Amino acid sequence: MMSRSEFAKSKRVVIKIGSALLTEGGKGLNQTAISVWVKQIAELKQQGIEVILVSSGSVAEGMSRLGLKTRPKALHELQAAASVGQMGLVRAFEGNFQLHGLHAAQVLLTHDDLSNRKRYLNARSTLLTLLNYNVVPVINENDAVATEEIRFGDNDTLGALVANLVEADLLIILTDQLGLFDSDPGINPGATLISKISANDSSIGEMAGESRSGLGRGGMATKVSAARLASRSGASTIIASGDVEHVITKVMAGEEIGTYLYANIAPLVARKRWLAGQLQVKGRLVLDAGAANVLKKSGKSLLAVGIKAVEGSFSRGELVVCLDLTGVEVARGLVNYKSTEIDLIKGYASRQFESILGYSDEEEVIHRDNLVLV
């Protein structure tokens, strides 16, 4: 585990800024705050630290520009608002980075761009090339085209996936709270700030609640699950308030601000990291106790003999979750057979596939290289 005092030695940092902060509670972009964060980022760049920004705010800024009082419900209205607002974001970041002699680059992603392995690797190359050119990539979800099926849903998840993609040392999530409290401080004024906790501690899920701002999405719940996701590539996460003076500088100097969600698991190899970041689950396999145990303890491939039930309709190569008999997820992975085939071969040994299906591809329903434990 990296101690806070080691943050200054980071090579690469992803900084995510939430909507509520960027848009002053919906009153348009907070230009002063943006200039202050950019100045701190420019200082990090001076120290040789690479920075990637994940900036929300397109919908909120678009709402403000279009005079919409509440966040639109219809997808096409949201997309229109995001397209208008993104112009404001780009303008603000470009102008401010230029003041420090830095170029910014706009990168808009959908989940589709990262779920396809080839496009994932392309996105990685582009980002690494931008960093090589000393440019600050400014990333947002491509809201103008993202439909329900291809969206990340919130920028905390996007920030974590970007941290995985570029193997960042640290993910800094700036929000409108001082950090993660043991319960939502907006509801419980007596809530206590958590200073440090493992990103994989099972108790944090219960502490973190939803967003109530009407501007942001996901609240603390998506921030703690982003921290867990980031930890899979070894990145630790800080959740801190973007309103604290010199917040980025202070975090990087190791000051005890915000919540430090440290990564304390062995980083997954690159392919499994990509796999762990897949969000679109197409079906479920219910495993018997033996198979669930083997997966959990030894990370071996999943064989048909240990499958009790198949739920959902999916094709070969798609992502499914593996549940134990109590319904708890133990792993997820890419299947070698489609759902109707698995329904036929479940409970049988691999050597019987030929007589049941008329052919036999792989021995495993999910090969261990395509399986990540949860």
Ligand X SMILES: Nc1ncnc2c1ncn2[C@@H]1O[C@H](COP(=O)(O)OP(=O)(O)O)[C@@H](O)[C@H]1O
How far is 259 from 244, CA to CA, in rounded Å? 13
Residue from the set 19, 79, 110, 301 that interacts with ligand VHF by CB under 6 A: 19
Distance, CA of 48 to CA of 50 (rounded, Å): 6
**Is 181 a binder of ligand X (CB under 6 A)?**
yes
Tell me if 54 sits within 8 A of 137, measured CB to CB: no
140 binds, among ligand X, ligand VHF, none (CB under 5 to 8 A by kind): ligand VHF
What residue 231 binds from ligand X, ligand VHF, none (CB within 5 to 8 A, per partner kind)?
none
> What are the CA-CA distances from residue 126 to residues 96, 108, 259, 363 (Å)?
22, 12, 31, 37
| 161 contacts ligand VHF (rule: CB under 6 A) | no
User: Using the rule CB under 6 A, which residue among 12, 71, 111, 217 binds ligand VHF?
Assistant: 217
35-to-40, 98, 100, 246, 346 alpha-carbon distances in Å:
9, 11, 10, 12, 59
Q: Which range of residues in 42-50, 119-127, 135-143, 200-208 is near ligand VHF by CB under 6 A?
A: 135-143
Any contact of residue 259 with ligand VHF (CB under 6 A)? no
Which position among 88, 96, 154, 262 is part of the footprint of ligand VHF (CB under 6 A)?
A: 154
Q: Does residue 140 belong to the site contacting ligand VHF (CB under 6 A)?
A: yes
| The binder of ligand VHF chosen from 29, 38, 59, 108 (CB under 6 A) | 59
Q: Rule CB under 6 A: is residue 26 a binding residue for ligand X?
A: no
8 Å CB contact between 17 and 174: yes
Residue 187: CB atoms within 10 A of its CB come to 10
Angle between helices 58-66 and 75-99 (to 10 degrees): 100
Window of 54-62, 200-208, 241-249, 330-338 that interacts with ligand VHF by CB under 6 A: 54-62
CB atoms < 10 A from the CB of 125, how many?
Answer: 10
Per CB under 6 A, contacts with ligand VHF among 68-87 are 82
CB atoms within 10 A of CB 66: 13
Residue 111 or 217: which CB sits closer to ligand VHF? 217
Sign of the Cα pseudo-torsion (74, 75, 77, 81, in order): positive
From the CB of 118, what's the least distance to ligand VHF, in Å?
24
- Please report how close the Cβ of residue 20 comes to ligand X at its closest, in angstroms: 4
Judged by beta carbon, residue 127 or residue 322, the one nearer ligand VHF is 127
Closest CA to 276 of 359, 195, 165: 165
Determine which residue in the list 143, 169, 341, 364 makes contact with ligand VHF, applying CB under 6 A: 143
Q: Which two tokens stand for residue 143?
A: 């809201």
Report the residue from 88, 216, 258, 283 that binds ligand VHF according to the rule CB under 6 A.
216
In contact, 268 and 332? CB cutoff 8 Å? no
Nearest distance in Å: CB 82, ligand VHF: 6
The secondary structure of residue 302, as a DSSP letter, is B
Annotated binding-site members:
16, 56, 143, 155, 175-176
Q: Can you tell me the distance from the alpha carbon of 179 to that of 191, in angstroms, rounded to the nearest whole number?
A: 11
Draw the binding track, 208-247, toward ligand X (x: CB under 6 A; -: no contact). xx-xxx--xxxxx---------------------------
Residue ranges in 2-147 assigned as alpha helix (H): 19-22, 31-46, 58-66, 75-99, 111-115, 117-132
Distance separating alpha carbons of residues 317 and 334, to the nearest angstrom: 5
Q: Does 137 sit near ligand VHF (CB under 6 A)?
A: no
> Shortest distance, CB of residue 40 to ligand VHF, whole angstroms?
19
- Using the rule CB under 6 A, is 141 a contact of ligand VHF? yes
Residue 155 near ligand VHF by CB under 6 A: yes
Query: Max CA-CA distance within the chain?
Result: 70
SS3 197: strand
Q: Does 153 bind ligand X (CB under 6 A)?
A: no
Give the binding site for ligand VHF (CB under 6 A). 18-19, 56-60, 82, 140-141, 143, 154-155, 216-218
List contacts with ligand X (CB under 6 A): 18-21, 56, 175-177, 180-181, 183-186, 207-209, 211-213, 216-220
